[in-house]
Every structure is written in C-alpha cells, then in structure tokens.
C-alpha cells in the first residue's frame, strides 16, 4: 500500500531532550515536507526536500533540523525541544512540485513539558 509512515504517533518529552521523528515513504516521491499544525494557525511548512541531500527551509524552520540521506526517509530532528514546539506534526510526500498533491502521514502529536 502506498503510504507515508511517521513515528511515533504520540510523544511526550522534556525541555532540552533531543528527539527525532521518523518519516518514510514507499512511493519513490522526490519531494518530502514537514508541517506543523496549531489551532488558529493552520498548517505551516517547516522544511522540505526536493531530493536526496537537497533540503530547504519552509515558513517556520527555527529549532528544527532535517536530513535526506535516502530518497525514502526524511527525519525531523529537534535538538533542544521547547514548550512552544508542542504541536501536531505531519510528514508528507509528492512525486514532484507544481503539479501533484501531497500524501500525508498520520501525524505525530508532540508535547514538550
């Protein structure tokens, strides 16, 4: 089944403790993105990647890192999480930009205390 898989589904952590949210897609898509969704603010793009080893900042990249060492994987790294990063995070992929929509993962609900 074609899908985007992200883990974990739920995560509670403490301020400053490094964490990684994994994302994998099995559709050979070139583009992958991370979004965060907050009440009243909608979905905002954190980072995206056009292909292996090529990434770029979205609208809200501060406090996040990403890497794209393999085409299928696009992990999101929070090196020193803070409470304002408490949010619902989505990974998504699409074949190319400008003519295809995104396939989304099921989401990761992160709470930083």
Return the residue of 24, 31, 68, 87 that touches other proteins, per CB under 8 A.
31
Nearest Cα residue to 5 out of 21, 24, 19: 24
CA distance 52 to 71: 5
Query: Residue 14: which residues within 8 A CB-CB, separation 6 or more?
Result: 112, 113
Return the residue of 21, 66, 76, 92 that touches other proteins, per CB under 8 A.
92
Return the residue of 52, 65, 86, 109 that touches other proteins, per CB under 8 A.
109
Phi, psi of 18, rounded to the nearest 5 degrees: -55, 140
**Nearer CB in complex with other proteins: 64/102:** 102
Q: Which residues of the shown chain bind other proteins in the complex (CB under 8 A)?
A: 4, 31, 33, 35, 40-45, 48, 50, 56, 58-59, 88, 90, 92, 97-107, 109
């Amino acid at each position: 089944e074609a899908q985007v898989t992200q883990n974990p589904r739920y995560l509670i952590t403490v301020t400053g403790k490094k964490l990684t949210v994994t994302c994998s897609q099995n559709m050979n898509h070139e583009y992958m993105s991370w979004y965060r969704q907050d009440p009243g603010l909608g979905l905002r793009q954190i980072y995206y990647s056009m292909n292996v080893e090529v990434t770029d900042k979205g609208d809200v990249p501060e406090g996040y890192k990403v890497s794209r060492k393999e085409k299928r994987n696009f992990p999101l790294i929070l090196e020193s999480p803070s409470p304002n990063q408490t949010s619902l995070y989505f990974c998504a992929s699409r074949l190319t930009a400008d003519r295809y929509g995104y396939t989304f993962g099921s989401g990761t609900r992160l709470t930083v205390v």
